[in-house]
Structure 1
Amino acid sequence: MNNTRHEEFREYVTARERVLMRTALQLTGDRADAEDLLQAALAKTYLAWDRIQDRAAMDGYVRRAMVNTQISWWRRRKLEIYPTDELPDSPVDDHTRRSELHDALHRALRRLPERQRLAVILRYYEDMPEAEIAEALGISVGTVKSTVSRAMAKLREDTGLGTDFKIPPQLPER
């Protein structure tokens, strides 16, 4: 009987998976969450398979399992969220904005004259002190300072980021 149960359940899932997935998507609004929800509901349905007498009502049973599971997940998430009147000190990491910034910075760096570009890369990406940069480029420390200063002003202007602009820790790969 156990093998028959398994085959009946497999046939049911194969026949109804698309319809049930649409219901799960409507409940969650997200494909990955919908897949998890449907999986959890089908697991509960499989465990109760022998107790469900009316096979025609199987979709209703699975839908009810999805709704109950979604409500449980929602309640659990709700308990994990702690509202506060104060915002956290560190902002949420915005990967898209960071990627756009890296692209803009990369383009702006390419537009710099070679000595300015080298000075900025050595100073901020290689974290070299000004004396080492001066030695590597064959210029004075004062020239390194003024070159980096002019380059940073140009980068601020080209990227439109203003005086708060800081070079990110890694040069965008291209």
Structure 2
Amino acid sequence: MTGEPKAGRDAEFTEFVAARRVQLYRAAYLLCGEPHRAEDIVQQALAKLYTSWRRVRRADSVEAYARRSVLNAFLDDGARGWRRREVVTAHDHDGAAAAGLSVEDADALWSALRELAPGQRRVVVLRHYWGLSVEETAADLGISPGTVKSQTAAALARLRGVLVPAETGGERT
């Protein structure tokens, strides 16, 4: 396919990005909790996807490749050692706020997600945001299905402990 017109390939890539960019951004945001860092992660992932587009678009799942690229860009970003710390609330990025939640509840959710261990957060995002099976999550993360299950259970227990009010008359503490 070396004679394939670049314009057609670029149009196809642009169409994919237009359809999936918001979801890729939201996943990156859920992983890192910082809007600017999430943008950087998505840009890295899309750059890699573009350079491999000719091969990737023939694969079984372009979406799986894009999802894995976001995850790898997030992991690479964390391995670089620099971290910019921002206090991010639901006010900072309305597009990432969960539909139907009050601002206070969305802030509590983001805070709780940031408190998860990195491996737990990755599992929660892949399982509950992307809706992947245990096996798909294990394959994307390069871990066993048993590890996915145990990390999911631990993460959900931690989230319940942070988000569900203690028996103090129904008020959050």
Q: TM-score range by the shorter chain?
A: 0.3 to 0.5
Q: TM-score with structure 1 length normalisation?
A: 0.42
Question: Which of the pair has more CA radius of gyration?
Answer: 1
Q: TM-score with structure 2 length normalisation?
A: 0.42
More helix by share: 1
